[in-house]
Structures are given as C-alpha cells and as structure tokens.
Amino acid sequence: MAVRNILTYGTKSLREPSKEVHKVSKKITELVNDLLETMYAKNGVGLAAPQIGVNYRVFVIDVSSNDEPLNPMVFINPKIIKKSGAVISNEGCLSFPEAYTDVKRYKNVTVKALDAHGRPFVIEGKDGSLLARAIQHEFDHLNGILFIDHCVNRFEADNVLSKFNLPPVEVDRLIDEPELEAELGND
C-alpha cells in the first residue's frame, strides 16, 4: 500500500473516460488499497482511480464521521441505475486543493457495482446525504467529468479557482441539467 500523488485540475488525463475492470486481480486490489490509503492520508471522503493517474473504473468512499469507525466502500465498474430529486451542495475535490463551490446534484441515487472481492452489490444514497453526493462526484471522475462541470454559478466558481491558482471553468464542459434545474425551480 502506498500514498499516491493526486493529480490536480488542469491535468489532461482527469478528463479522459476510464476503462472497465475485467477482473479483480492483484493489480486492482493494490489499486484499491492505494486509493484508500491516499484518501485517508489526504482527509478525503472519496477518491477515484483517475485522480492518481490510473484509468480504471474504480473509486473508494468513506463517509464516516470523526466519532464513527472507518467504513471504507469500494466501487468497481459502478453504474448509477436510478436517480431522483435535486439538491445544491457545496463541494470540493482532492484534485482542487482547498477550492469549494456550489454544485447541482441528484438528491437520491442508486448504484450497482462490484466490491473489493468482485462481488456485486447495490447501494442507495438518499436525501442529498454525503453518500449520495460522493457517489455522484466519484462516478463522474470515471467519465472525465469534474465537480465544477455541475457548478451553480460559473463566475463564482471561476473566482474560487483563481484564488487557488487553478485554471478557470471549462465553459464547453458545463453540463446542461434541465431535470435538476426544474427540480430546483430554476427553469
């Protein structure tokens, strides 16, 4: 296990879609262990393989709070099978050190994936919980989508990014989300 370097926003590979995992091999198990160790070392809630320069459809999440035992969750080849509702939340990302902005997310998501042993499972994140938002955030990484692509206010996001010497929002990457806008009453 090793703490790996996290790629920062502006690194081209963060925008590339990831490949399916065909077998939960020793290499994938080592990747999962490195993701977990790196996430915990950087005080993250989640981390996706592309963020450490590995282009596989794998991410890890742990939404336990300070007074709870660690609860690492591993998602291999995840698919979001159901989503509903809408919520605005303030998000950050380990690839955007210290930069936070408001983004639009689904309030409820159901995802199916394989666990660290290659066994299928289904999990639900409800009511705009940290789990629901983290699943969407990390899932996006596997498709080359970043949290700022969901920003509520591009100009606000640009101001935050410039404070931390990060490139501005890529306007052509902003995601049009009419169903979320309608839910939020912004249509």
This prediction has a pTM of: 0.95
Query: In angstroms, rounded to a whole number, what is the distance separating the alpha carbons of residues 166 and 148?
Result: 12
- What are the extents of the domains in the chain? 12-184
Q: Tell me which of 16, 138, 156, 170 is the catalytic residue.
A: 138
Give residues with Cβ within 8 angstroms of 101, minimum separation 6. Answer: 90, 91, 147, 148, 151, 152, 153, 156, 157, 160
What is the separation of C-alpha 132 from the centre of its chain, rounded to a whole number of angstroms? 10
CATH classification of 12-184, choosing from 3.90.45.10, 3.30.930.10, 3.20.20.210, 1.10.10.10? 3.90.45.10
Query: In angstroms, rounded to a whole number, what is the distance separating the alpha carbons of residues 14 and 11?
Result: 6
Per-residue pLDDT of the chain (187 residues; tens, 9 = 90+): 799 999 999 999 999 999 999 999 999 999 999 999 999 999 999 999 999 999 999 999 999 988 899 999 999 999 999 999 999 999 999 999 999 999 999 999 999 999 999 999 999 999 999 999 999 999 999 999 999 999 999 999 999 999 999 999 999 999 988 888 888 886 5
Residue 138 annotated in active site: yes
